[in-house]
């Protein structure tokens, strides 16, 4: 049974106060809070397990390696990857996308090739492709969206051609909450011979992901948005593709043999894991996944959908409030503007009431450009949020209307 009070009890920070008020944390798309088991897993590593991985013959190093590699197995099963060596540890979604853009892109893109992105991508799934496009002569094409924040699939199909080499698509938009039909898009992209990178930074905590069923070529996410630590994330890639790609960074662990004349590289996944990794972070990410699995993504999604509906209903009590992002298939993000009030003023007043939301362009400036707004205020939900949190949000928003609009 989904028991939100019991879940909240596992997150120490949710008991804290901010500016003399109980913390109402609604900035989960930026980062989620951590349950005690994740905090303990991270500190336990330093308490009893701290040693470098894959190097020592001594017991501590072997135990640290076992715990680190066990986390890789947990991730493999969580996202349904066929092989454990398809799971590469990175610093986060951003580094994972840069790895693919740089390694795959430099080896495969040439002038005239096209990289297809959507208008609602986070900058992390735009700028790395721009850099590689400049270096290779490839071109970026953009799938447009409509006023509800839904991608135009007719345009998408019209943009696909034999020139398309890569589709980079977010599964869930961080600025709008739109859930994109990635399964369908992957199928269409594959029909023209393009590869697909799915940005799962905002989907991984709200819905079940199975990369084998999706048949995506690459999938990326960050640990810190999945109740895990910062500084650790994952690149999933199909084995044959990863095997064919040149290394991204070079150094220890990623080599097989080094001479000054020539070096040969380690097998997967280590070929892409140069240097000492964030060992504690990887282990604690494994714990975060076990935590999510113990509650169940289906129940989590159901709970969050109820809260999003509740927020949408409450929003009707404020006529000046306009929701940005009204796609039919949408999760967890309540992005809005209020006529006559700058989003930063909304954020500041909410903060004085202990309500943490994010205001700004959310690293999705093309979305702001489309709606001709500088920024939105964004409340984003996670499994520990409650109707009382939404009530607190709207009490504070009514204060905003009193201060600015009366």
How far, CA to CA in Å, does 201 sit from each of 92, 161, 222, 269, 283?
Answer: 9, 27, 6, 21, 19
Report the alpha-carbon distance of residue 365 to residue 24 in Å, rounded: 27
> Which contiguous run of DSSP H or E holds residue 32?
none
Strands 218-222 and 233-237: antiparallel
Does 122 engage in binding with ligand 7TS (CB under 6 A)?
yes
What are the tokens at 284? 């604690």
| Neighbouring residues of 112: CB distance < 8 A, sequence distance ≥ 6 | 137, 138, 139, 163
Answer yes or no: are the C-beta atoms of 42 and 371 closer than 8 Å: no
Residues 322-361 contacting ligand 7TS, CB under 6 A: 358
Does 170 engage in binding with ligand 7TS (CB under 6 A)?
yes
Does 34 engage in binding with ligand 7TS (CB under 6 A)?
no
Shortest distance in whole angstroms from residue 212 CB to ligand 7TS? 22
Report the alpha-carbon distance of residue 301 to residue 305 in Å, rounded: 6
Residues 185-204 contacting ligand 7TS, CB under 6 A: 199, 201-202
Does 303 engage in binding with ligand 7TS (CB under 6 A)?
no
Shortest distance in whole angstroms from residue 57 CB to ligand 7TS? 35
3-state secondary structure of 162: coil
**Is 37 a catalytic site residue?**
no
Eight-class DSSP state of 225? G
Does 207 engage in binding with ligand 7TS (CB under 6 A)?
no
Does 124 engage in binding with ligand 7TS (CB under 6 A)?
yes
Does 29 engage in binding with ligand 7TS (CB under 6 A)?
yes
User: If binding means CB under 6 A, how many residues of this protein chain bind ligand 7TS?
Assistant: 17
Binding mask 36-75 toward ligand 7TS (x if CB under 6 A, else -) reads ----------------------------------------
Q: Which of 30, 131, 363, 395 is catalytic?
A: 363
> Which contiguous run of DSSP H or E holds residue 363?
none
> Distance from CA of residue 20 to its chain's centroid?
32
Binding mask 73-112 toward ligand 7TS (x if CB under 6 A, else -) reads -------------------xxx------------------
Sites of contact with ligand 7TS (CB under 6 A): 29-30, 92-94, 122, 124-125, 170, 174, 199, 201-202, 222, 358, 362-363
């Amino acid at each position: 049974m989904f028991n939100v009070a019991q879940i909240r009890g596992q997150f120490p920070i949710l008991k804290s106060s901010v500016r003399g008020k109980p913390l109402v944390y609604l900035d989960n798309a930026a980062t989620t809070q951590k349950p005690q088991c994740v905090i303990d897993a991270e500190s336990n590593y330093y308490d009893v397990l701290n040693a470098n991985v894959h190097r020592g013959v001594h017991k501590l190093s072997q135990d640290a390696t076992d715990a680190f590699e066990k986390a890789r197995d947990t991730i493999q099963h969580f996202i349904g990857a066929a092989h454990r060596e398809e799971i590469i540890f990175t610093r986060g979604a951003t580094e994972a996308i840069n790895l693919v853009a740089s390694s795959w892109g430099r080896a495969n893109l040439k002038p005239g090739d096209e990289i297809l992105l959507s208008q609602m991508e986070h900058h992390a799934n735009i700028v790395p492709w721009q850099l590689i496009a400049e270096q290779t002569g490839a071109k970026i094409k953009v799938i447009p969206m409509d006023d509800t924040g839904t991608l135009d699939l007719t345009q998408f199909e019209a943009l696909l051609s034999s020139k398309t080499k890569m589709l980079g698509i977010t599964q869930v938009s961080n600025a709008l909450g739109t859930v994109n039909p990635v399964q369908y898009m992957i199928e269409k992209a594959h029909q023209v011979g393009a590869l697909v990178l799915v940005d799962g930074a905002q989907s991984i905590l709200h819905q079940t992901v199975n990369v084998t069923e999706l048949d995506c070529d690459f999938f990326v996410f960050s640990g810190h948005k999945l109740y895990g630590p910062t500084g650790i994330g994952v690149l999933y890639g199909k084995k044959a593709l990863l095997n064919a790609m040149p290394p991204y960074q070079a150094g220890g662990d990623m080599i097989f043999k080094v001479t000054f004349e020539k070096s040969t590289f380690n097998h997967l996944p280590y070929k892409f894991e140069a240097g000492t990794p964030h060992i504690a972070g990887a282990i604690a990410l494994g714990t975060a996944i076990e935590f999510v699995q113990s509650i169940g993504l289906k129940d989590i999604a159901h709970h969050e959908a109820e809260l999003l509906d509740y927020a949408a209903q409450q929003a009707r009590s404020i006529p000046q409030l306009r929701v940005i992002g009204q796609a039919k298939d949408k999760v967890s993000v309540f992005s809005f503007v209020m006529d006559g009030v700058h989003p930063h003023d909304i954020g500041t007043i909410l903060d004085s009431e202990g309500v943490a939301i994010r205001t700004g362009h959310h690293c999705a400036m093309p979305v702001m450009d489309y709606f001709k707004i500088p920024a939105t205020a964004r409340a984003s939900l996670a499994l520990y949020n409650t109707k009382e949190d939404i009530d607190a949000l709207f009490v504070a928003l009514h204060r905003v209307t009193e201060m600015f609009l009366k």
